[in-house]
Amino acid sequence: MDNSTLIGMVSIITAGVTMAIGGMIPALGQGKSIAAALNSLAQQPDANQTITRTLFVGLAMLESVAIYCFVIAMILIFANPFWNHFIA
């Protein structure tokens, strides 16, 4: 096990785990928000403009957390400064 292997292994694992765990709760939050939106639509069909707009802003906000994780996973796979140091 030389140094670059170790860095490689750790990068792979961290990339996968960060994406998998970091995407879990935003997805849960989105599920909750969509469910709440659907209930609200059933209850107050006339407010459907405001509800849809608020829902989309909220989903975008939640997606942003998942995207932070995706960004870190991508950095670790394709632009990893530690890996670059060792294979240099």
Number of H helices, E strands in the chain: 3, 0
Question: Closest distance between its own copies and the C-beta of residue 88, in Å?
Answer: 11
Question: Closest distance between its own copies and the C-beta of residue 21, in Å?
Answer: 4
Signed CA dihedral, 38, 40, 43, 45: sign only: negative
Instruction: Please tell me the distance from the alpha carbon of residue 8 to that of residue 5, in angstroms, as a whole number.
Output: 5
Question: Closest distance between its own copies and the C-beta of residue 84, in Å?
Answer: 11
